[in-house]
């Protein structure tokens, strides 16, 4: 498929590739799945790849001296290479398989953080981070005596770059920022943030959990030092995700988890570490899931990430128009289609987000309601929670119309319309 001329995605046609949509809700309705920011559904090719790995190619990876094990090993390492190419990593040796973005961020915080941070050092995160890019930094700051500060967000849900600049003057050691806010969908100018942070010598950690699945991402072009993301949000299996890090940083870092596979030599007095990335992959990894993730990458590359982004951009723009037109509904965030991923977070006056979600669920529309693991952001806007709809390749305009109709029906039910 040509990269220069992305073929438009037909969400309704895409659903034929995803077996979950064969299942109707208990009320006999077609599922409008609008919760992909939490986790994506899986195409048949991914499900088949996992099944095939278990059925025909399964043995433990690394060190096996028989054909089946070298076969499994080759597939596991091929998945690593495919992932490296998919995100523009200069080398497959810079991809560490982990369980998910949360584990990747913890790995950076524990390994790089404890080795490099000390009393008085400054670490910058932001008010819009998912707890996964926030709590590990709180923990490492408490353990090392480093100071943790948060870049403020504006009233319309963007990072306040003036506030960033004001804090960068004090030369933080590390800046941890999300590419896309999971709670609001804001696309942050992460390349520009990295450029400014590097100018004062900071290491830049990108939480790419919401961007790698939904738009073209090139970690080298973004100028990051570390990146974290999950397989399950990008059509892949749960239980596998990745940390990308620049080789010279990974080489110098101490291990995170220790045990089998990550060593070259162990005596009763100590151990020597394996090379990266295996130094960070203690124990038996998610082997079949790696094949599933490779199949997800193949699927996404077949669509083209430009086409995926363009599809979600259109759905977002339609959703924003529809929701903003309903009296008593307030969508959150910048609102511009260029500044938003396919995520729309909103509040409905007089109806709690949980109740909105339940009424929508009764109509076969799956959304998320809550704090979206971003409680500081909710506190910033003095909201206990929001309702969030998020889009992916299998959604279409009809899903958006059903969402808008569903919200109106909740307003009628609660007598707030």
Partner 1 sequence: MDNLYRDFILEHYREPHNRGRLDPHDLAFADSNPTCGDELGMTLRLDESRRRIADVAFDGRGCAISQASASIMTDGLRGLSLDEVLALDPREVIADLGVPIGPARLKCALLGYKVLQGAVQGSAANWPEEADVLAGPSTGGSAP
Q: Which of 192, 264, 354, 398 binds partner 1 (CB under 8 A)?
A: 354
Region binding partner 1 by CB under 8 A among candidate stretches 84-92, 243-251, 329-337, 357-365: 357-365
Q: 234: Cβ–Cβ under 8 A, 6 or more apart, which residues? A: 40, 212, 213, 293, 296, 297, 300
Q: Which of 48, 149, 355, 401 binds partner 1 (CB under 8 A)?
A: 355
Q: Which of 29, 68, 384, 398 binds partner 1 (CB under 8 A)?
A: 384
348 binds partner 1 (CB under 8 A): no
Instruction: Establish whether 88 is a catalytic residue.
Output: no
Q: Which of 359, 365, 367, 377 binds partner 1 (CB under 8 A)?
A: 359
**Short-list 212, 238, 228, CA closest to 50:** 238
Q: Can you read off the two tokens belonging to residue 109?
A: 């915080």
Q: What are the percentages of helix, strand and coil residues in the chain, rounded to 5?
A: 45, 15, 40
68 binds partner 1 (CB under 8 A): no
Angle CA 304–185–17, to nearest 5: 40
Region binding partner 1 by CB under 8 A among candidate stretches 65-73, 135-143, 212-220, 345-353: 345-353
413 binds partner 1 (CB under 8 A): yes
Site residues for partner 1, 281-300, by CB under 8 A, read none
Q: State which residue, 340 or 388, has the beta carbon closest to partner 1.
A: 388
What is the DSSP pairing of strand 203-207 with strand 174-178?
A: parallel
State the nearest-atom distance from the C-beta of 387 to partner 1, in Å: 11
Tell me which of 59, 282, 366, 373 is the catalytic residue: 373
- How many other CB atoms are found less than 10 A from the CB of residue 347? 20
Q: 20: Cβ–Cβ under 8 A, 6 or more apart, which residues? A: 31, 33, 41, 42
227 binds partner 1 (CB under 8 A): no
352 binds partner 1 (CB under 8 A): yes
# of chain residues touching partner 1 (CB under 8 A): 20
The DSSP annotation for 333-387 comes to S---GGGB-SEEEEEETTB-HHHHHHHHHTTTEE-EEE-TT-HHHHHHTT-S-EE
Region binding partner 1 by CB under 8 A among candidate stretches 47-55, 142-150, 219-227, 349-357: 349-357
Region binding partner 1 by CB under 8 A among candidate stretches 254-262, 320-328, 363-371, 389-397: 363-371
In sequence order, which ranges of 87-208 are alpha helices (DSSP H)?
101-107, 114-116, 135-144, 161-168, 190-199
Interatomic CA distance for residues 111 and 164, integer angstroms = 25
Site residues for partner 1, 110-149, by CB under 8 A, read none
Backbone angles phi, psi at 39, to 5 degrees: -165, 145
Region binding partner 1 by CB under 8 A among candidate stretches 133-141, 210-218, 328-336, 352-360: 352-360
Cis peptide bond upstream of 191, omega within 30? no
Contact, 334 vs 156, CB < 8 A? Answer: yes
State the nearest-atom distance from the C-beta of 29 to partner 1, in Å: 12
Task: Name the DSSP letter for residue 404.
Answer: H
25 binds partner 1 (CB under 8 A): no
State the nearest-atom distance from the C-beta of 353 to partner 1, in Å: 7
Site string for partner 1, 296-335 (x = CB under 8 A): ----------------------------------------
- Say whether 28 sits in a helix, a strand or coil: coil
217 binds partner 1 (CB under 8 A): no
Interatomic CA distance for residues 114 and 96, integer angstroms = 19
371 binds partner 1 (CB under 8 A): yes
- Say whether 187 sits in a helix, a strand or coil: strand
State the nearest-atom distance from the C-beta of 39 to partner 1, in Å: 16
State the nearest-atom distance from the C-beta of 128 to partner 1, in Å: 16
Residues annotated as catalytic are: 373
Residues of the shown chain interacting with partner 1 in the complex, contacts defined by CB under 8 A: 351-355, 358-359, 361-362, 369-371, 375, 378, 384-385, 409, 413-415
């Amino acid at each position: 498929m040509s990269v220069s001329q992305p073929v438009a995605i037909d969400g309704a046609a895409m659903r034929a590739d995803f077996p979950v949509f064969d299942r109707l809700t208990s009320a006999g309705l077609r599922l409008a799945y609008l919760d992909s920011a939490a986790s994506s559904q899986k195409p048949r090719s991914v499900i088949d790849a996992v099944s095939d790995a278990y059925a025909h190619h399964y043995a433990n990876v690394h060190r096996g001296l028989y054909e089946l094990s070298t076969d499994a090993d080759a597939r596991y390492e091929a998945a690593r290479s495919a992932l490296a190419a998919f995100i523009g990593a200069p080398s497959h040796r810079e991809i560490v398989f982990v369980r998910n973005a949360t584990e990747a961020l913890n790995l950076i915080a524990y390994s790089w953080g404890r080795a490099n941070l000390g009393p008085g050092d400054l670490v910058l995160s932001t008010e819009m981070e998912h707890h996964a890019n926030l709590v590990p930094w709180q923990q490492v700051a408490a353990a090392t005596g480093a100071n943790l500060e948060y870049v403020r967000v504006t009233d319309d849900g963007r990072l306040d770059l003036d506030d960033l600049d004001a804090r960068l003057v004090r030369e933080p050691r590390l800046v941890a920022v999300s590419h896309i806010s999971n709670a609001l969908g804001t696309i942050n100018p992460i390349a520009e943030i990295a450029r400014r942070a590097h100018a004062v010598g900071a290491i830049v950690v990108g939480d790419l959990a919401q961007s790698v699945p939904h738009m073209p991402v090139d970690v080298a072009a973004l100028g990051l030092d570390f990146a974290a993301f999950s397989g399950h949000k990008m059509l892949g299996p749960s239980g596998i995700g990745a940390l990308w890090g620049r080789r010279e940083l990974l080489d110098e870092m101490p291990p995170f988890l220790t045990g089998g596979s990550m060593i070259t030599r162990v005596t009763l007095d100590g151990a020597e570490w394996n090379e990266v990335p295996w130094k960070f992959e203690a124990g038996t990894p998610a082997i079949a899931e790696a094949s599933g993730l490779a199949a997800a990458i193949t699927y996404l590359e077949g669509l083209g990430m430009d086409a995926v982004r363009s599809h979600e951009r259109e759905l977002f723009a339609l959703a924003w128009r529809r929701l903003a037109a309903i009296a008593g509904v307030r969508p959150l965030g910048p609102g511009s289609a260029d500044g938003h991923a396919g995520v729309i977070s909103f509040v409905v006056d007089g109806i709690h987000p949980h109740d909105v979600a339940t009424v929508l669920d009764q109509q076969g529309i799956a959304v998320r309601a809550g704090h979206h693991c971003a409680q500081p952001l909710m506190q910033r806007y003095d909201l206990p929670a929001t309702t969030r709809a998020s889009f992916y390749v299998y959604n279409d305009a009809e899903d958006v119309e059903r969402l808008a109709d569903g919200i109106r029906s909740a307003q009628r039910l609660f007598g707030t319309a």
